[in-house]
Structure 1
Amino acid sequence: MSTFDTLIIGEVALDTNVDYDGTTVQAIGGAVYYSGFAAANIGHRTAVLPKADMTAEELRAAFAQAPNVTVYPLPSRASFVTKNVYHTPDRERRTSTVSSMIDPYRPEEIPAVDAAVWHLAGLVRGDLPNELIPYAAKHAQVAIDVQCMLRCVENGGMVYHDWAEKKELLPYVRFLKTDAAEAEILTGLTDRAEAAKLLYSWGAKEIMITHNSEVLVYDGREIYTCPIRSRNLSGRTGRGDTTFAGYINERLTHDVPTALRTATALVSLKMETPGPFLGTRADVEAYQREFF
């Protein structure tokens, strides 16, 4: 058995979030942050490899409320600093600007951590170089949130471009996560089920596509979906990170529909409260019994 269920590789972000009503909140964020809390607080043995212009003590303190997390901090000359302005109550439309970025991860920086899954959780293109994917595949099952290959920083703004090397690198990927818009960029298809099937044909073994109404998973045999049932969206930030982290960890010991249902209940509950998931597995199970 591996020492950890998952090793999550990605930078901590310093976020300023401006809601549609003008409410402004400054907070730590990033895929590694939301994913780490989600995986650890439902009971998975979780390691994180965050990078930022912060001391090791500060990076460890960021995860203090997730006691199952082991932090391997990495320094950077700058942190990822971003501002997100949300335009609608459902937080589906936002404008993001970036004022600084981390030094890219290098394979030689990654410690010898024994984990069943390496979860590549960068924020923009360049954080995690393409060569890190086959390197990761030599050590563990690879999970990747494709945002870090599609989101590009240009003149301080965030824009999306297709991933030129996708067909070369997707065969290394066990778990691939996109949202509906990213799936369309990758495949040209608006039908999420058909997009998932095409991504599978390019080599990824299990595809998750998130949407504000449901989460879809395709494993090469069947399309599975589960509805999101949040009663409010005050904790919308970190939705995809929470879902994916919950799913890939649950898949280590459960079948697709069981893992998908747990992950969707987890994110539905998380979205009712701002910040990362601070509840327990028992909370998720109770929520699942009530709403699923």
Structure 2
Amino acid sequence: MAKFYDILSIGHISLDYNIDYLDNEIVEVGGAVIYSSAAAHALGHKAGVVTKLAEGDRDRLNVFTIAKEDVYCLPSAKSTSIRNKYHTPDKERRTCTCIAQGDPFTEKDIPGVDCGVYHFAGLIYGDFDGELIRQMSLRGKTAVDVQALLRHVDKNTSLMYFEDWKDKLTYLPYIDYLKTDAAEAEIMTGKTDRAEAARLLHKWGAKEVVITHNTEVLAYDGNEIYTCPIKARNLSGRSGRGDTTFAAYISERGHAGIADSLLWATATVSAKMEKPGPYKGTRADIEDYIRRFYGR
């Protein structure tokens, strides 16, 4: 009998050099799969991860909050590493440089497990392609964070930059849950209004669209625009905001409606943002947070 996961996140772990606007540097292990699996796990869902590391870098796996047997780590010629220079105290503006990029993921890398949703949590263009999304859509539901489809590396400078996903019209119809932030949504649609962008992304084929912003999270299913405010009291845990939100949302959607899933996701990221690192609380903690700050 195949192992079951509510959510299986696919992506690289990164050694991040984070430099704030005052030039203070912190070196830490990051990556969407870390924040994503932690959020789903904290809410009581079974989370698994598929990642790749170079020989000698397996100590990075120690940052996961999920069980070791639920992390499928494959060999890679290099391990991903990124330098993030933040230009403002709120960390909304940054310059990113790719130090190294891990090997791309292919269909043969994905274990034969039963899965509620296959979550594509890449970091850089080339981590996976649209064809892998299509292939996994034949196995089950797919959730895609567009960062790894828009964020490219300049071959001469190693600086990272964003450009539109040229294959979006081909592969958006294979995506059950699509996540962008406000800037990525504008790149893909040309729309600065997040609701308009969500409607267009849905029209192009994505079945459900989630757009994150520093003030709120928006979800759209083709029928109604849903929003929920972020209530974080500080931004010390800003890194991993979107990853935490999306993983909480899609793991909740396995058993709950859009409005409830959005509330739990937004409360989870609000609590997470108040402390650095992946979220390590419990579902009861988030339930209490919802009572205290959302009055529900």
Normalized against structure 2, the TM-score is what? 0.95
Q: 2:209 aligns with which of 207, 210, 230?
A: 207
Partner residue, 1:39: 40
Letter in 2 for 1:133: I
Partner residue, 1:170: 172
Deviation at 1:113, TM superposition (A): 1.7
1:113 and 2:96 aligned: no
1:148 and 2:148 aligned: yes
Residue pair 1:44, 1:68 contacting (<8 A) in 2 also: no
Letter in 1 for 2:219: V
Matches within 5 A, 1:1-292: 3-54=4-55, 58=59, 60-63=61-64, 65-67=65-67, 70-154=70-154, 155-292=157-294
The alignment partner of 2:70 has SS state of: strand
How far apart, in 2, do the equivalents of 1:184 and 1:287 lie? 31
* CA shift in 2, pair 1:57/1:95, >3 Å: closer
Identify the range of structure 1 (46-55 vs 207-216) with the bigger mean alpha-carbon deviation: 46-55
Letter in 1 for 2:90: D
How far apart, in 2, do the equivalents of 1:168 and 1:231 lie? 41
How far apart, in 1, do the equivalents of 2:56 and 2:281 lie? 27
Aligned residues: 291
* CA shift in 2, pair 1:34/1:278, >3 Å: same
The one-character-per-residue Cα deviations of 1:29-74 (angstroms, maximum 9, x if unpaired) are 01111101111121110110011214585354231x3349711111
Residue pair 1:125, 1:151 contacting (<8 A) in 2 also: yes
The one-character-per-residue Cα deviations of 1:96-127 (angstroms, maximum 9, x if unpaired) are 11111011111112111211100001011100
* CA shift in 2, pair 1:56/1:73, >3 Å: farther
How far apart, in 2, do the equivalents of 1:11 and 1:113 lie? 19
Deviation at 1:241, TM superposition (A): 0.1
Normalized against structure 1, the TM-score is what? 0.96
Letter in 2 for 1:79: S
The one-character-per-residue Cα deviations of 1:197-239 (angstroms, maximum 9, x if unpaired) are 0000000000000000000000100000000010000100000
The gaps in structure 2 that reach 5 residues or longer are none
How far apart, in 1, do the equivalents of 2:43 and 2:26 lie? 26
Deviation at 1:75, TM superposition (A): 1.2
How far apart, in 1, do the equivalents of 2:93 and 2:63 lie? 27
The alignment partner of 2:195 has SS state of: helix
The alignment partner of 2:244 has SS state of: helix
Cα root mean square deviation, aligned:
1.5
Moved over 6 A (4+): none
Letter in 2 for 1:25: I
How far apart, in 1, do the equivalents of 2:81 and 2:184 lie? 22
How far apart, in 1, do the equivalents of 2:190 and 2:58 lie? 44
Deviation at 1:160, TM superposition (A): 0.4
Letter in 2 for 1:91: K
The alignment partner of 1:91 has SS state of: coil
How far apart, in 2, do the equivalents of 1:54 and 1:39 lie? 28
Deviation at 1:21, TM superposition (A): 2.5
Residue pair 2:57, 2:79 contacting (<8 A) in 1 also: no
Residue pair 2:3, 2:113 contacting (<8 A) in 1 also: no
Residue pair 2:47, 2:66 contacting (<8 A) in 1 also: no
Identify the range of structure 1 (11-20 vs 238-247) with the bigger mean alpha-carbon deviation: 11-20
The alignment partner of 1:226 has SS state of: strand
How far apart, in 1, do the equivalents of 2:94 and 2:59 lie? 29
The alignment partner of 1:189 has SS state of: coil
Identical pairs, percent: 52
The gaps in structure 1 that reach 5 residues or longer are none
The alignment partner of 2:127 has SS state of: coil
